């Protein structure tokens, strides 16, 4: 971590949200962990982290309680999302980006108005690009498949709470930023996910370049835009028509 009196070159804030499950604005917890670039150009976790309870304005659903175990009594006296969001998403220290695992979920609540129009890094999309040989890409699976250096096991628990999840994601992002330029991560994050393997059908589990063109073309009409984008990209790689322009949303879980 950076010393208290050092000045980082750049700061990315990783955020994680837990929600009440009853509507589009019902955040019940936000956690954050900063990753900073130091004078030698390397990225590392910073001392700046935290979490806040948020009043979702109505009872939390039993389904989401079963995931994060946040009770209505835990958030009864907390501020509303609109009252607290900007203080976390636009801190006094300047940020070069916000980040989250499966960032499309956080972006539903962290709108441009609340973030000041900040750019986003999606660590799920970047993991697909940087570590395509891994079998799974969820935040917690990456944690145990990769075992990132310096990750204190207890600080990453309990899973599915905002600060521990942001802390785990920050270790993935630190390593990504030390492998690829910030600009590359931002560019990948602006596109749909590039899936390393065929998700279904006769070629399920195979790398895209291991199947016939006919199989690849079959996925051009898939309902999942990540699948469509990956098929288009593979066809373009083989000399076919280039991939179409991406739209900002993400598809289903891998």
Does residue 236 lie within any of the structural domains? yes
Higher pLDDT, 145 or 6: 145
Where does a domain end: 139, 163, 190? 190
Question: What's the domain range around 53?
Answer: 10-190
Q: Are residues 102 and 216 in the same domain?
A: no
Q: Are residues 71 and 116 in the same domain?
A: yes
Phi first, then psi, for residue 129 (nearest 5°) are -80, -40
Q: Are residues 185 and 199 in the same domain?
A: no
Q: Are residues 112 and 171 in the same domain?
A: yes
* Predicted pLDDT of residue 242: 52
Phi first, then psi, for residue 109 (nearest 5°) are -105, -35
The CA-to-CA distance between both ends of the chain, in Å, stands at 32
Where does a domain end: 190, 210, 244? 190
The whole-angstrom separation of Cα 54 and Cα 56 is 6
Q: Are residues 160 and 52 in the same domain?
A: yes
Q: Are residues 50 and 168 in the same domain?
A: yes
pLDDT digits (tens, 9 = 90+) for 165-216: 999 999 999 999 999 999 999 999 999 999 999 999 989 999 999 999 999 9
Residues contacting 62, CB < 8 A, separation 6+? none
The whole-angstrom separation of Cα 89 and Cα 98 is 8
pLDDT digits (tens, 9 = 90+) for 115-159: 999 999 999 999 999 999 999 999 999 999 999 999 999 999 999
Contact 19, 8 (CB under 8 A): no
Lowest-pLDDT range, 1-10, 72-81, 138-147, 169-178? 1-10
């Amino acid at each position: 971590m950076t010393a208290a009196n050092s000045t980082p070159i750049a700061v990315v804030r990783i955020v994680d949200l837990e929600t009440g499950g009853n509507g589009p604005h019902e955040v019940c917890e936000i956690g954050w962990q900063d990753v900073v670039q130091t004078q030698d150009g390397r990225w590392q976790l910073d001392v700046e982290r935290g979490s806040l309870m948020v009043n979702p304005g109505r009872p939390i659903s039993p389904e989401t309680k079963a995931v994060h175990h946040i009770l209505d009594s835990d958030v009864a006296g907390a501020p509303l999302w609109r009252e607290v969001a900007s203080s976390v998403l636009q801190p006094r220290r300047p940020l070069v980006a916000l980040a989250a695992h499966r960032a499309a979920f956080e972006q539903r609540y962290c709108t441009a108005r609340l973030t000041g129009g900040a750019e986003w890094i999606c660590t799920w999309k970047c993991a697909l690009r940087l570590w395509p040989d891994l079998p799974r890409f969820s935040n917690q699976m990456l944690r145990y498949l990769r075992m990132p250096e310096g990750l204190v096991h207890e600080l990453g628990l309990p899973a599915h709470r905002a600060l521990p999840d942001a802390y785990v994601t920050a270790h993935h992002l630190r390593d990504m930023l030390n492998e690829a330029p910030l600009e590359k991560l931002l560019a990948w994050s602006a596109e749909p996910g590039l899936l390393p393997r065929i998700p279904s059908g006769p070629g399920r589990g195979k790398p895209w370049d291991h199947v016939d063109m006919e199989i690849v073309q079959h996925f051009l009409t898939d309902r999942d835009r990540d699948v469509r984008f990956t098929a288009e990209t593979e066809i373009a790689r083989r000399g076919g028509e280039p991939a179409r322009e991406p739209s900002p949303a993400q598809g289903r879980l891998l």
